[in-house]
Structures are given as C-alpha cells and as structure tokens.
Structure 1
Amino acid sequence: MQLLFFPFLGAFGIIPSDTASTKKTPLSILCTSRDLYNEISSHLFSNSVQNVILNPVYNEQVWMVIQFKFRAREIEWALRNRADSERHFQNFPHSKTTMVVHINRPDPTDPGQLVLLWQKINALADHLIPITRPNIKLATNGPWRSPNPPASWGPDRDLFYQMGGLQESIPFGPKYCPDYDVVMLPFLRLGLWVEDPTNVPAMSDEEFDILRRCLFSLFDQKGIEHRLEPLLSMTKDTAVREIESALIETDLFLETRMDELAGITARFLRLERYKNWFEDGRSWESVYEAQLEKQLSAYPQVITDIDLLLDRLSTRYVVLILLHHAICSPRSNLYGGLGRFDDSTIYTTWDSEMWPERFPSGIPQLSDVQTCLLRFWRPGKDLFGKFLAYSRWLGRRGPRKLDGQLYTV
C-alpha cells in the first residue's frame, strides 16, 4: 500500500533512494505549475510529520533515515551519504510539514559514535540553514545522564553531578564536555540562521532574545551555568563570535581525540578521514586541510587547550603520508615489499578507493600505526626522508633532489 504513494512524493522530489527513477510520475505537471503544486501539496502534507533519525552506529550504507508520516500512513527510507541527504533537504517542502529530529544516544564504550553524531548534526544544520525556516522539534532518545562520573573525574563526584551529571564519552581535560552538549551545540547555528557566521549583520534586541531562548531550550538546565558560562555571558555584539568559537573548539577537540579513540566507529572514521584527505587524481587539493586552515586562522586561541604545538596534527599528517607510500609500494613491485629500500619514487596519484581495500576494518589508533610503520622503516632517514620527500614535493608539485637524490614524479 505504501508504494502507491511514491508517485505523489516523487512530484516533490521525495523518492526513497531504493526506488529512485528517471521516469515521469502522474503528477509531473506539478513541476511546471506553481499554483497546482501549492494547492495539492497543502492537502498532501496537511498534519504530516517528517522524522529525521540520526543513529550514531556506523553504517556505510545509511547516513540518516527519513520517516514520513501522513494520513495514518508511513514511509521510511535511508539516505546513504551526505550528498543524498543534501539533495533531500533541497527538494523537500519543509515549510508544509513538521520536522522531528531524533538523536539516538551514543554508546560511551564506543566513543567514536559521538564524533559520528557531531558530523551528522553539523551536516544537517548545513542543509537546513539555506531553506525556509521549518518547524523543527528535537527528540533525544536514550539515557543521557551517567549513573557514575567517568574515571577521569577522580574524586570530584559531587562536582560532576552539580554540573549536570551528563554522560561524557570523550574526556576534554580540564573542561566538562558531555555528549548532550556536543550534539545540541550545532543547533545554535539555527538560532543565528546564517550561512556565513563571519559575515553577519548587526543583531537586533529581538533577534538576540530569540537566540537566548533557543540556547536555554536546547541544553539541559542542570549545571548549565558551569558548563556553558561563555555562551550564557554573550551579548548581541559577541554572540556570533562566541558561538562560532565554541563550534570550532568542539570540532578540533573531537578531530584530535579521534586519533586515539578505541572502538570500531573511530576506526572507520579515521579511514574516512584519510581516504578523503586529498581529492582523487594529481591535484593534491584537500578540503580537509582548507577547512582546518580556515578554523585556525579565524580562532587561533581555541587550539591552546587542544593541540598547543600542533603535535597531534603533525603526527596525523606524517602517518597519512607514510601510510600512502606503504599502500602504493606493493603495486609497484618494488624490491623490499613495501618499497622501504626505494629512494627514488614518490607516488603522485591519490586514489581514495585504495584505503578501504587495505583497511577493510578501519584504521587502528595512530600510535599503533606508527609502531607498525617502524617495523618496515628504520627511524631516521628511511622513515622521515620519505616523508620529507613527499611534503616538499607537495609544496612544489614536481620533482626535486633531496640529499643528492632525485625524487621523480
């Protein structure tokens, strides 16, 4: 019975991915008549609910789930990746329905789930900001409070409960960074409702009042004065900068901690980060690096509590380059298996599909990867000479001599 409604949904660009087709539907005329579209859609979507389900469990085939309920009927389909979800949110008539975003609690024994939720929620905010403001409700599913403070809190049990007693999957040193605050923070961007937070017109008193109400409605109230003091102290002149700073700080915190997180989700997230570090081909352009540079340029102060000397970032990049060499070497049939005796070849083409072939179960913690790499390259020239050759070649995109040897493209 549900399949009978797919032609109607298709007229609005709402087709489950498994049933997508280029065939015209009986309501294709709606695509050419705005009056017909408005009249029929107002009846079709009357009292309807669009449930957006964000699951923290890693699934390569499911990025988010859409569940559409109208007139006692229900249709559900999966969006496989971020590109699918972007197309959905561009086409769906959100202003004609109620959206309920369901956020399932991450498992603290698999801390990478919190990072995955952060990525999905930020993507959702990116999709929602350019469209007409929909009616959005949030539902957090699961017990987000922790019966006991994490071991990192030591004897400060009472302080933990004074600050909210919320589950904290990834400790943030001197700060308290509960999972609930992490997943709610990106929705503050919808309080600002601007695509570019660095270019925002002056905020009126009314707009700032709405933003403050949004802040208090999003976050758990117990201990909020301790957890979110900078945001509670913002003014209409500082609000944009405070919110953007909090977002960047959280993003960098999760990004750096992901290097050493245990669990299957973190393994696959490390794989996703590494395989997509550069664009496929020979351009060596990196969206990841461009975003990081933009963050550090805009708010350099946030790095002080996270990666003061950029040691984590440097280690991550060294491991990336050496792993790329290790993956490519066997394909060249070089003497020595992993090409550790080869001093002349730099692999200049980026192929993202090589990474999941080599790491079908994800990439281990980077400290373990470093240990593994040292089994194949001696510390010193063999290991870091190859890295220097890569990094210097990337700077010029061409051949060069290093220590008297020619590294060819």
Structure 2
Amino acid sequence: MSASPFGYFIFLPSEIRLLIWENLVKEGSLAILRTSQAIYHDIADRLYDTFDIHLSTIFEDPWIEIRCKLLRVNWVIGRRDYNKFSNLARVPYDKVKLVVHIYAPDPDDSGQMILLWEKISKLTQMLCTIDDSRNYRDRGNPHYKYWSEPMYEGSYQFGSTPEAVISMVIRLRKYNDVDWIRNGQVNSTFCNNGLGYDFNEVLLPFCRLSRVRGFGIISDTEEMAVAADWAFANYATAFVMTEGFVTFNNAVYSQNPEYGDIVRTFDGIAGLLNHRDDFFSLWVDYRFLQVPGRTLSLMRHEQQTYLVDAMMHRA
C-alpha cells in the first residue's frame, strides 16, 4: 500500500486531527504546514478563512484579540508584543478575510477613544508594512520599523489594483450598552477639541491601507445606520479602494460638489493623521491634561511602569 500524504495521521479520524491542528496553531507552531501538501491544506483551508479581530475599549481586555472562525483558536497580542506583530505581517492576506470589530468608546471615559486610536493605528501599521511609502511615527517602539446624510454604500462599485490582497470588513460594535450613538446623536468624544464623530475618527488610520480588494463598514444597530451621516465613511471607502494614500486623492466622489469639504480633508490626509497621532499621544504624555473616566489614568500608569522597567534593564 502506498504511503499516505498524511503519514500516520491518516489513521486518526478527521475530528481528532482537527483537535491536534487546533492545539498546534494555538501554541503558535506552524512548522507542520511544511511537512506535506495534504497536511498543509487540511490546516490552511481552515486557518486561512476568516480572522475576526476584536479591538476593545476596556483597558483590562486583550489589547488585540484575533479569532479564527474554522479553527477554534484565538491569539492575544499585547501592546508591546512586537514579534507577534511581525509574524502577523507575514500572514497570506490574499487567502484571509478580515473582520475588524471596533467597539464603541464611552464618551464619559475619554481615554477609551485614545486607547482605541492606539490599537487601530498599530493594526493598520502592521497591515502596511509591505509598503514603505507611508510615514509613521511609532514613538513607543524603537524596534518595530515600520456632510449631507447618505446611507453607507459599501465598496462593490470601486475598482482596485491587480495585486490587491486585503479583504476587510469593519464592524462598528455596541459594547456594554455603549453605542456609537446616544439619544439620537452620534457621539463625538473630543468635539470640543476640534475632532469629528467618533466613528469617523476610527476610520482615519485605515485610510493608510493599500492593496485592498474589498472594504466595507457595517454598523451594529439600525439606529446608528439611520441616524449617522455616512458621507465621510463612503468617501473613506472609495479612498482606500483607490489607494489614495500612496497615489493621490482621486476617489469616485472627488468631483462631487456635495463632498467638497470631505475632498479637502482627504487632500491633506497625511498631515491629518500625523496631527491625530500627536493629539492622542499628548493626552497620554502630559499628566496635567485631565479627561473624565479611568482609562487614561490606567494608560499613563502602564506607560510609566514600562519606562521605569526599561531604565532598570539598561542600568
């Protein structure tokens, strides 16, 4: 009898093999993928399906959590898990659909918005490591290079480049009874500081992406879908799909007079992103700046602890 491409694994029921694959992947060991094509496809066809990426606004929650739909495994990436971010950058994204769950920040705890910005910026930074044409200022990691009211229209109508690899859906999630909208009004945590709606602000870092073949945004509640002004999200989707950040601002809406203010915003998108990075970093760095809620205090304490530990190791 000819040898099986599964080796001795062929004697195990597929359910048992699946448990073994799940355990290996959960531990971060993918060397078995190189043993045979049969084993590779048995694992990869499940592994490279859909990654659900969860970005919570609660400080104690995992910094970034990734769940695989078909393999019952999940990975937790900490704020300074630079090796894990580096490994994540090597995922074959042409085989994976990304669903990014962004949970609504509480406007009564302004630090949640700051925390969310950090997480989204780090995620998009990792997804952009294949292209050096973006300008990042990752101050926290020395080792890691790197208004009409239309409804949301999605990305099906926009073209993309032939080598596009990333397929992504952003889900704006309600969390612990906190939604992106309150009493019929869309939340804007830092409106007094010149920032816009929270759900528009969290979309900004994604505008750095290129090589995107699919991009969509879904709200969790019907109330949000109806009450929100989706013009900015529509334009951001078109901008991402046409690689506006690394080429030029020529999205499908750019010639529409109704989008004039938004067009001008995206003409200066690089400067706007740098401004937001500086703005949110300022709140963490300068302790005399006070905001309501507990999250910012926890972030400052964590940063101070990290800096003290780093100095102790260098001493």
What's the TM-score once normalised by structure 1's chain length? 0.46
- Residues 215, 63 of structure 1: alpha-carbon distance in 2 compared, 3 angstrom cutoff: farther
Mapped pair 1:261 → 2:261: no
- Residue 54 of structure 2 aligns to a residue whose secondary structure is strand
Q: CA deviation at 1:125?
A: 0.8
Distance change (3 Å), C-alpha of 1:257 and 1:30: closer
Larger helix share, 1 or 2: 1
Q: Distance in 2 between matches of 1:231 and 1:3?
A: 54
3-state DSSP of counterpart to 1:107: coil
Aligned counterpart, 1:113: 112
Q: 1:147 aligns with which of 165, 183, 208?
A: 183
Shift, 1:166, TM fit: 2.8
Equivalent positions of 1:385-404 (< 5 A) are: none
Q: Distance in 2 between matches of 1:80 and 1:141?
A: 21
1:64 is matched by which residue type in structure 2? Answer: I
Change (3 A) 1:249 1:31: same
User: With CA pairs under 8 Å and 6+ residues apart, which has the higher RCO, 1 or 2?
Assistant: 2
Shift of 1:111: 0.9
Q: Secondary structure at the match of 1:260?
A: coil
Deviation (angstroms), 1:146: 3.9
The answer on 1:65 being equivalent to 2:65 is: yes
CA-to-aligned-CA distance 1:70-103 (integer Å, 9 cap, x gap): 2xx6434433444165155135443222110010
Equivalent residue in structure 2 for 1:168, among 188, 196, 202: 188
Distance in 2 (CA, whole Å) between partners of 1:185 and 1:265 is 22
**CA distance change for structure 1 residues 80 and 116 in 2, over 3 Å: closer, same or farther?**
same
Residue type of the alignment partner of 2:76: A
Q: CA deviation at 1:264?
A: 1.2
Q: Distance in 2 between matches of 1:185 and 1:104?
A: 16
Tell me the alpha carbon deviations over residues 160-204 of structure 1, each in whole angstroms, 9 at most, x when there is no partner. xxxxx531112343x3422112211000010488xxxxxxxxxxx
Q: Please name the residue that 2:99 is paired with.
A: 100
Does 2:148 correspond to 1:135?
no
2:252 is the counterpart of 1:252: no
**Residue of structure 1 equivalent to 2:76:** 78
- Deviation digits for residues 279-303 of structure 1, max 9, x if unmatched? 723798xxxxxxxxxxxxxxxxxxx
The aligned counterpart of 1:293 is none
- 1:390 — aligned with what? none
Alignment-mate amino acid for residue 21 of structure 2: F
Q: CA–CA distance in 2 between the matches of 1:3 and 1:81?
A: 34
CA contact (8 A) 1:191 1:210 kept: no
Counterpart in the other structure of 2:204 = 185
Counterpart CA distance in 1 for 2:249 and 2:308 is 37
Distance 1:119 1:45 in 2: 27
Identity of aligned residues (%): 21
Structure 1 residues 69 and 255: alpha-carbon distance in aligned structure 2, compared to 1, 3 A threshold: same
Q: Which amino acid aligns with 2:94?
A: S
Change (3 A) 1:214 1:135: farther
Q: Tell me, what secondary structure is at the counterpart of 1:102?
A: strand
Contact 1:52 1:101 in 2 (8 A): yes
Deviation per residue, 1:340-364 (Å, 9 max, x gap): xxxxxxxxx5xxxxxxxxxxxxxxx
Counterparts of 2:32 and 2:198, CA distance in 1:
47
Shift of 1:253: 1.8
Distance 1:29 1:192 in 2: 29
How far apart, in 1, do the equivalents of 2:40 and 2:98 lie? Answer: 19
Q: In the comparison of the two structures, how many residue pairs are matched?
A: 226
Task: Check whether the contact 1:82–1:123 (CA below 8 A) recurs between aligned residues.
Answer: no
> Aligned match of 2:304 in 250, 254, 274?
274
Partner of 1:304: none
| Aligned 8 A contact 1:188 1:215 in 2 | no
Secondary structure of the corresponding residue to residue 108 of structure 1:
coil
Quickly say closer, same or farther: Cα 1:9–1:214, change in 2 above 3 A: farther
**What residue is the counterpart of 2:33 in the other structure?**
30
User: Given the superposition, is the C-alpha separation of residues 91 and 5 from structure 1 closer, same or farther in structure 2, using an over 3 Å criterion?
Assistant: farther
TM-score (norm 2): 0.58
Matches within 5 A, 1:280-299: 280-281=310-311
1:230: which partner in 2?
264
For 2:276 and 2:210, the matched residues in 1 are separated by 18
1:276–1:75 CA distance, 2 compared to 1 (3 A): closer
Q: The residue matched to 2:310 in structure 1 has which SS? A: coil
Cα deviation for residue 270 of structure 1 reads 1.4
Instruction: Flag the 1:136–1:177 CA change in 2: closer, same or farther, 3 A.
Output: same
Native 8 Å contact 1:51 1:100 kept in 2: yes
8 Å CA contact 2:54–2:66 kept in 1: the answer is yes
Aligned-residue Cα RMSD (Å) equals 3.9
Give the aligned partner of residue 44 of structure 1. 46
Please report how far the alpha carbon of residue 276 of structure 1 lies from its aligned counterpart in structure 2 after TM superposition: 3.5
